[in-house]
Copies of this chain bind each other. A is one copy, B any other.
Amino acid sequence: MSYSIGQVSKELGITIDTIRYYDKAGLLPFVNRNEAGRREFTDNDVHLMRTIICLKNAGVSVADISIFIQMRLKGDGTLEQRYNLLKNHEKNLQQQITDLKDTMSYLKYKEWYYKTAVEAGTEEIHFVPCTNGCLPELEEQYCDYLKKQGDLIELDNFVNVRDYRNR
């Protein structure tokens, strides 16, 4: 049993053009063709493509994934290299996750900022009078708000982010 490019496209949620682009870029050397030259994908091919998409989601470039696939073709001699490549991308990924969490923390602070401003009807409640600069105690006020909410995890995270940003 095999699948056409259109079926795989639907299954994986990526366009036909993208699959062909990946093929051109050397990401799919394992996909066979029928007599007419059309691609025929096996279940295993689709599984491998899920791994490729996973690496993409992890922020690995098409060029790097291509290197990984080329190593795969070379056999067992490259096992360790492949392991190291993944380990490296795990580090990147961990950093990305940390960054996004920090960004989220900051975003929540900004949401609080705008929620309170909307309630007050003006942004000025956060400014030093007669300026466009924020009050120095603003972040402290937000911490108090988090404490009142009992959100100690977010509080802890925000304090870290704030320390970093004001470094």
Contact = CB atoms under 8 A, between A and B. Distances in A.
A43 B166 CA distance: 11
A100 B97 contact: yes
Contact-size category for A = 35 or more
Contacts of A58: 100, 103-104, 107
7 contacts: A57-B103, A76-B122, A86-B111, A89-B107, A90-B104, A93-B103, A97-B97
Interface of A: 30, 43-44, 47, 50-51, 54, 57-58, 75-76, 79-80, 82-83, 86-87, 89-90, 93-94, 96-97, 99-101, 103-104, 106-108, 110-111, 114-115, 117-118, 121-124, 132-134, 165
